[in-house]
Structure 1
Amino acid sequence: MMKALYLSCALLALLPWLAWAQPPPRSVARPPPTTRPPTAAPLSAAAREGMRLAEQGCQSDGYDAELCEKAISQLEVAARENPEQVEVQLALAQACWNRSFQERPESRSRRNWQQRATDIFERLVDQRVGDARPYYELSMRRKDDAQRMSLLRRTVELNPRHARAHQDLAWGLLRQGKPDEATRVYQRHLEVSPVKDRQEAHENLRFAGALARAQRPQQAAQVLETVMDQMQGERRAERCLLLQSVDPRLVEARPQVKRELQELRPYCTNTEHLDRAVELEQQGRVDEALMELERQVDINPKPEETYVMLERLYLRKGQPEKAAEVTTRYLRSEPETREKCERFQRISPRTLRAMDTPTLEATRRQCTTP
């Protein structure tokens, strides 16, 4: 009995040492908890109907007062049912904003409708929703530049491909005296929003001019070069009309770009006789118009419209041989295959029949080669 007691006491004394001597238990690596973004609840029937009516009746173009009133009522119901639906809130805000323009410009009711829309955008921003649209919409309604810039920065964080936000942010940075950062932001705008029409290209060239005035000629030339690259698919005359007013200082640091502009300008400048011919044709003075067009060819033969007009007027006078002669002259002198072939597609069948066979066949082969 005593022996067993002594053994038990000895074991108890050894337990702390044994515990210390054992290697610590290995911790099992557990994967971090997965966080999933909350899934938006499906839109209710009232929400879908309200958004459909707003799309039909509350747009700036084609506004329908009755449909828009119904849309706003439906969207209000949907917003009360589920205030978390960002799509519904945005649709309601935009509908209220467009509704405001049905009121007199200085009326209180217009201000009330617009304030209602602004309140919705502010509420969404205060809730820090992960949608870029309310931040951008609110930025356009803020007069304070610091607030606008903060909203624009948040917009591009949430949507890195938001072209207008990048553009507005770049202009703001330029106003703040940060031309280098403004250039980087504007280049991003050009990446996500290639030039689609002349108005956009003009806006881009306006920014290049502002950079030049901010003593950043290299960055200004870079924006200009990007615009020119994006417009390569446009007709030459269109490119010429857009770029003819570019400040020559923008390309002093880019000899290649300067040379391209110099080669392009004759296609839409020095056209006094062509312009006069247009006026004479409108007055019915066809023979005098033809004389002015021939003078235009002698002074500056580059503008394609000169040959288009010569062909039309000679056909009008019943002289297809003359029309064929001036058209052949153009086709033989045109250096760019794309311009030549596009013009070839628009030549009158009467002119084609009067053209000499070698020129006709050579041009047809050139323009049908894949």
Structure 2
Amino acid sequence: MGGCNAKIHGECSEESLSVYTELFNILQRLDLGTIEPEIPIASGVIDLTGNEDIFTKLLTLETKQILSRHSFRNNEFPNQIGAMLDEFVSSYSELRSDFDPALMRPISFPHGEMTLGTRRILMTTFDLLEGLRRIWSCRPSLIEEDYSENSYVIHAVSKVLDPLFTYSKWPLKRAWSEQTSKSSQSRKNRMGSINLGKKPDLQVLLKLDMKANELVLVEISRLFPEQDKEVLDWKKLVRICKDCFDERYNIFFENREDTSSGARLIHCELGKIPVLGIQVIGERIFVSMLDLFEGVFYRVYRVCEITIPLRISTRQVVEEFLRGSLRLRAIVEEIVGMSVSIKDEINLLPTCEERTPSTSMMSTTYSPPRNS
């Protein structure tokens, strides 16, 4: 609330002023006792993804649209992908329903001169299409309601997510199998909790100066999830993303002076770099980002949605899947590039022997009173 009030009485655009005024008025009249501890707003995060909570429901549509704006551009979709797509789809056009997957041949990789960036995209596309081929060869199992979460991850989800992080300009590490998030564990340790940190189904990490930084967090359900699985996974995902966002400051500024005007400017730029949260519910992949809006408050917003074609599909369906997947890849690459650039700037700051770790970029977490 203090950040909104400061903006209202400071310098900001007319559009931003209307947003901060609306937020300030809502916060003033909001009954904090009605806030459940696990929803995003309890951690100081405004949820703009459509998973409306008691706070987001009070926002006007115009304010939601302003708060959801971002600068991530659409990705490149090279012309060569069309030929790869045609070859892939045509190979299934006249098959019997009981075809033998072993008889299928991999598609041809485009020849000719191309930039390294285009080659990376085409290699990702090749692996995505081959991933679909493996998924389609498992088609009898993928429609059974007792299909386990682990089997779905192994035979389907990993086939379409792994290629997106394989051919990056920078080495990205993937950690599957619900490893404890170091950022989540750091928050638990600072709070004096004896509990372990939260465990996402997949973490994608970038190693800079021998320190691993969590870029992407993923929560995955089974193909036919239980009714409340989507809501529970989303609350968990937002909490971990915020932990990673906050802990990144400590990782990046470790042993660096952070009180000068130059350091504060870098701090503001760091707040513009989002942490990516991906939720897989059934055959749908929801891609969201968590960052700071104008350095004042946390927000989480949706950037794209991808549908995994689990059965043999038309060219249009496969193309939509590829476009969505490659857009996600481009977003990851842009976030990585921003992270590398800002870390280079931080490395130019003077060193310091000891700096007290920050518990959060802003103190926002709210714990409602327990019922006696």
Higher relative contact order (CA 8 A, sep 6+): 2
Q: Same fold (TM over 0.5)?
A: no
TM-score relative to the length of structure 1: 0.24
- The structure where strand makes up a greater share of residues is 2
Larger radius of gyration: 1
- The structure where helix makes up a greater share of residues is 1
